[in-house]
Structure 1
Amino acid sequence: MSAWPVGPWRALSWVGSASAVALTAHSLLNARSLRVPALDPPPVAGRVSVLVPARDEEGRVRACLASLLDQVELPDYEVVVVDDASGDRTADVVADVAATDPRVRLVRSEGPPPGWLGKTHACHVLSRHATGEVLVFVDADVVLAPHAVAAAVDLLRGAGLDVVCPYPRQLALTWSERLVQPLLQWSWLTTLPLRRAEVSPRPSLAAANGQFLVVDAAAYRRAGGHEAVRAEVLEDLALVRAVKAAGGRGGVADGTALATCRMYDGWAEVRAGYGKSLWSAFGSRPAAVAVGIGLAVTYLVPPAAAVTGSPVGAVGYLAAVVGRYAVAERTGGRSVPDAFAHPASIAVLLGLLADSWRSRSRGGLRWKGRAL
């Protein structure tokens, strides 16, 4: 007698497996259409402002600045760093670098006024000091390849975009990072129609990464800049949406060869980092519940069915593994054995989503010593 269950469970397994197959097929198509910046870009015409918001980054900002000062094919650029009321030696490190290179300027901020979040205010301050035709926002924990800025600006202009986020290669070392961090690229490569998303003003068809965000200065101002998204936790996504709502075009691109970033170090930082922002990723609590159910049906039900002997569940699980593997290979992540743990990744993500909403409901969200 077959161990394969019947009824609603079997129907869920079929739905989940079919969804996994369809989404993996979509991710493979997206991987082929993903815009890739040039490895040998031409010199950039016009002035470029590279803008770095920094709060409590004394251990990482020096490496970031070294990579920014090593940029090629940038005849005219400035690097402006805002120290966002750091409690460590971030400002001193930046000042030391600025003393040896006139391209670097340090701006000090006393922190956000009421109604603003820290990073949005820091980026707003940076934009007020920028003099370039193109604004390049770079997080202090990002290290750029020498051709990164020129390649990103070349892509912005060559593709006729107003904003582009070349997604950095995400460095993941501990078990929690390896489970969660690859889902960043996997999520938009799997779900978004990338080329349509570039031109559509629909908020749901947007993806972004503020770690490395390049925007035409005029388009930035037309959209209201960071002042228009002053209270948004996911300010990068909100800014891309604002640029598109103002008639601009843009989205994500392949930044694997341009930048690297290790966002978090271990489970405690992963949990805190996703806890502060994951609640806002889907717009509302009902939307978050719907997304959670969809993820569970698509990526948890099939492997559970496969354990009971279901060939349909096995197909769904293997489709998910193929999708995760392909995205990892495309974006410079770990493909094997990590792809086989995709159900565990989704389970952890759902736990983080629930935890984020719970903290949000209790008013306990904080980041870098500030209430959100």
Structure 2
Amino acid sequence: MVIYIAILIIFLILTVLNLAFLPRLKAAPPSNSFVSLLIPMRNEERNVESLIRNLKCLTHRSLEVIILDDGSTDQTSELLRKSIGDDPFFKVIAGKPLPEGWIGKVHACHQLSVEAKGEYLFFLDADVRIAPDTIEKVLAEMDRRRSGLITGFPRFPVKPLLGKLLVPFQHFLVFFHLPLVMANYTTFPAFTAAHGAFMFFKRDAYESIGGHQAVRSSLLEDVHITRLVKKKGWKATLINNTEDAVCHMYDTNREVWEGFLKNIYIGLGQNPFMVGVSSLFYFAFYFLPLPLFGYGIISLQEIYCLPLILVWAQTFIIDRTSNQSPHHFWLMPLASLALIAIMWASMLKRIRKQSYKWKGRSY
């Protein structure tokens, strides 16, 4: 038990040290750099009006906003016309049919990049809302870090139960497992994390890798394109943008399940061994402390309560850093079980050669 507790203490210390290398966006002066803000949309009627209101508040004025309607079958197109009106900063284009071998979102982003005229390309998802001065902040950070790409995991307000368990886990997985000093201060592709909802490229870096066309068949295009940026010698900086960007990812448990199902096994390299090791790791260190805590309470042996307290402390620190709900850390043992379940479900789906489904398309 002493060794077990010592390992959890080490995890806690390493997490605190790791977070020291996660930069936050800072206030920045106005910039004249021309930015193309690029947004793919497919059946996003629930997001259109609030998104356009949000973007009209941006303070960076050397800007074009290009939105691609990717074959929406709901009221996305109508709501876009109504919300944009005659605002000259906005342009809406219709997406072309999806070619064989392409992933839907990747193809949409590629089409957007062809239309863009900016020195910088800012790919933003339709469910993200950003602070008015976000673009100025990112431009300054990019210059400060001499980066070809800035990316970050936004704050995630979540509604469904499965979302409360799994969505904040994105921050935990990255901030705990990724050595941020290597990710942000070197160009080694192995040390990479990215979030496709918030990708801000220097155009030269984007074009040097062939843009989204280089990852046309990837369901994990954000990570794969970031690795290519690093392979070309550009720095890619992972920032803490949770004070400047909010992402309302999923509204239902089904959306949470399908969203994680299509990505997580690919994120593990489609490696069954990694699924097994990761499952054992999270069961042993992040679920097992819960029954140990119960045993400690019943037997009046405080030492058995300490592992769960350490797990809660580590999770609480990450939640505070990422502006997550202050109550989420209590759920960590159950969240670990949910993570294990989705890893195995995703792997088995791939092994059985079944397709993943997302927004009406199968992959």
Bucket of the pairwise TM-score, normalised by the shorter protein: over 0.9
The aligned counterpart of 1:324 is 315
Partner amino acid, structure 2, of 1:327: I
Give per-residue Cα distances to partners, 1:302-352, cap 9 Å, x unaligned.
33334333755533221111011111111111123x212211111111111
Deviation at 1:201, TM superposition (A): 4.0
Unaligned stretches of 5+ residues in structure 1: 1-9
2:11 counterpart of 1:27: no
Residue aligning to 1:344: 334
Q: Which residue of 2 aligns with 1:68?
A: 55
Counterparts of 1:243 and 1:203 in 2: how far apart (Å)? Answer: 8
| Alignment deviations for residues 176-212 of structure 1 (CA, whole Å, 9 cap, x no partner) | 2211111111111111121211244444311111111
1:369 is aligned, of 350, 360, 363, to: 360
CA distance in 2, matches of 1:311, 1:225: 55
Q: What amino acid is aligned across from residue 257 of structure 1 in structure 2?
A: E
| Structure 1 ranges of 4+ moved more than 4 A | 310-313
* Correspondence for 1:290 among 277, 280, 298: 277
CA-to-aligned-CA distance 1:255-297 (integer Å, 9 cap, x gap): 1121111111132111111111111111122222222222222
Kept in 2, the 8 Å contact 1:144–1:259? The answer is yes
- Structure 1 residue aligned with 2:295, among 305, 308, 327? 308
* 1:233 Cα deviation after fit: 0.6
Structure 2 equivalent of residue 4 of structure 1: none
Q: 1:223 to 1:247 in 2, by over 3 A?
A: same
Task: Identify which of 344, 354, 359 aligns with 2:349.
Answer: 359
Are the structure 2 counterparts of residues 263 and 339 from structure 1 closer, same or farther at C-alpha, using a change threshold of 3 Å?
same
Give the Cα–Cα distance (whole angstroms) in 1 for the partners of residues 344 and 56 of structure 2.
41
Q: Measure how far apart 1:91 and its partner are.
A: 2.0
Spell out, residue by residue over 1:67-109, the C-alpha distance to the aligned partner (whole angstroms, 9 max, x if none). 122111x231100001111111212222334442111111111
**1:100-139 correspondence to structure 2 within 5 Å:** 100-139=86-125
Aligned to 1:41: 28
Alpha-carbon spacing, 1:145–1:319, altered in 2? closer, same or farther (3 Å): same
**Distance apart, 1:146 and its partner CA:** 0.6
- Distance, in Å, in 1 between the alignment partners of 2:317 and 2:282 is 19
Name the amino acid aligned to 2:246: T
Q: Against the structure 1 CA distance between its residues 26 and 111, is the aligned structure 2 distance closer, same or farther, given a 3 Å change threshold?
A: farther
Decide whether the 8 Å contact of 1:324 with 1:335 is kept in 2: no
One-letter code aligned to 2:249: M
The Cα of 1:26 is off from its aligned counterpart by 1.8
SS in structure 2 at match of 1:257: coil
The size of the alignment, in residue pairs, is 357
Q: Which residue of 1 aligns with 2:194?
A: 208
| Separation of aligned partners in 2, 1:62 and 1:158 | 34
> Are residues 320 and 46 of structure 1, via their aligned partners in 2, closer, same or farther at CA, if it must alter by over 3 Å?
same
* 1:51 aligned partner: 38
Residue number among 217, 228, 243 corresponding to 1:231 in the alignment? 217
Structure 1 contact 304–313 (Cα < 8 Å) conserved = no
Q: Verify: 1:84 aligned to 2:74, yes or no.
A: no
Q: Which whole-Å CA distance do the structure 1 matches of 2:338 and 2:120 have between them?
A: 38
Cα 1:18/1:280, change in 2 over 3 Å: farther
> Which amino acid is the alignment partner of residue 299 of structure 1?
Y
CA gap 1:58/1:180 in 2 versus in 1, 3 angstroms: same
Please list every run of 5 or more consecutive structure 2 residues that lacks an aligned counterpart in the other structure. none
Once residues 298 and 83 of structure 1 are traced to their aligned partners in structure 2, the CA distance between those partners, rounded to angstroms, is 44
Contact 2:194 2:226 in 1 (8 A): yes
Q: Which residue is equivalent to 2:170?
A: 184
Q: Which whole-Å CA distance do the structure 2 matches of 1:209 and 1:351 have between them?
A: 22
RMSD: 1.8
Aligned with residue 140 of structure 1, among 98, 115, 126: 126
* Matched AA of 1:195: V
Give the structure 2 partner of residue 333 of structure 1.
324
Q: Is the 8 A contact 1:197 1:205 kept in 2?
A: yes
Instruction: Please tell me the residue identity of whatever aligns with 2:331.
Output: A
- Distance in structure 1 (CA, Å) of the matches to 2:64 and 2:76: 19
1:292 and 1:350 in contact (8 A); partners too: yes
> Are 1:268 and 2:254 matched, yes or no?
yes
Aligned equivalents of 1:340, 1:120: Cα separation in 2: 36
- Match of residue 154 from structure 1: 140
- Matched letter for residue 197 of structure 2: Q
Distance 1:152 1:128 in 2: 22
Secondary structure of residue in 1 paired with 2:343: helix
TM-score by length of 1: 0.91
Higher relative contact order (CA 8 A, sep 6+): 1
